[in-house]
Amino acid sequence: MTRFDYLLEQGLIANPVQVRGSNTRGRVAQRKGRNLALRCKQHKDAVLRFLLDARVPFDNNLAERDIRMVCVKRKVSGGFRSAEGAAAFCRIRSYISTLKKQGMNVWDGLVSVFRGAVIMPKFIC
């Protein structure tokens, strides 16, 4: 048994199954710690993928930062007036995010769009 498996088992022991009386219906809600341990056990390969593949980051903060501006926009203005406006916002944010991730200058990229000579980031597969 690996240390990861051992720690998961310890987490499950520390967070036992919640039981309800026999006259109640539905599934019993479990503790957050138990749910986390069960998810980690079920998706062990995905959880530990960063150990074997250097392209996989340890956390997903970058992805969360990418969608943060959409959440802020929705919170501040209550949403978008049209699907086209939402698509344009997402397209612009995606372009800015890609420029940042590739170490390119965001200002130069946005200016290039208005000049008609768009700086295209590299498409990495």
Q: What are phi and psi of 22, to 5 degrees?
A: -75, -15
Give the predicted TM-score (pTM) of the model: 0.53
pLDDT > 90? residue 112: yes
The tens digit of pLDDT for each residue in 41-90 reads 999 998 888 888 888 888 878 778 888 888 888 888 888 888 898 898 88
Residue 70 contacts residue 87 (beta carbons within 8 Å): no
Nearest CA among 18, 14, 13 for reference residue 30:
18
DSSP assignment string, 77-97? HSS-SSHHHHHHHHHHHHHHH
Of 100, 66, 70, 68, nearest to 85 by C-alpha is 70
Q: Are 100 and 106 in contact (CB under 8 A)?
A: yes
With beta carbons less than 8 A apart as the criterion, state whether 16 and 38 touch.
Answer: no
Overall average pLDDT of the 27-50 stretch: 90
Residue 18: predicted pLDDT: 84
DSSP state of 120: P
pLDDT, position 39: 94
